[in-house]
Amino acid sequence: MDAIRPENFSHRAGWTFNGYCYKDYNTFKNNPDDVCYIAECCFDKDTLFVDYVNENKDKLINEGGLATANSIKEEIKNQLKNEEYYYEYEKEGIVHTIESKDFDDELLNQMAQYVFDVVDWQTTQAFIYETDWREDIKEYYDNKFKEEDLEIWVKIILFNMIMN
């Protein structure tokens, strides 16, 4: 039976530093609703048939064994909401709060990319819930607001140059 299992009919796990898993970077980038990661716990043997995975995708995602790019983003959103993550900043003497439900998609995409890059055997849910996202959020929004302030100053300088 092994001789007639072409790669396109089965998902094969590759060895990682800590165990083994299936990862498909192309699918993660280009097909966010297709399976891009399968954790070690899903592999009873070396292979999982693609038809089985596709037919049971939602169930397997809910059980935590496999993920799509979009399911990773949803897991992150749920974690941020459940743990009540937020970002506070001061502008013109007023403290503003950005709640997790209002975080930028770009930030969530960066977090999902980080999860996908780093997870190497465990479920994505377990990895996400073990991660403290505070520094990532702070760094993202600190940089974003610095860039916005810089853009405003550049516009002011250009305006003044034009007017003089």
Flag residues of the chain having pLDDT under 50. 1-7
Structural domains counted in the chain: 1
Per DSSP, the three-state class of 57 is helix
- Quick one: pLDDT at residue 91? 82
- Quick one: pLDDT at residue 34? 92
- Quick one: pLDDT at residue 7? 47
- Quick one: pLDDT at residue 130? 94
Residue 105 structural domain:
2-163
- Quick one: pLDDT at residue 3? 33
Nearest of 134, 132, 114, 138 to residue 124 by alpha carbon: 114
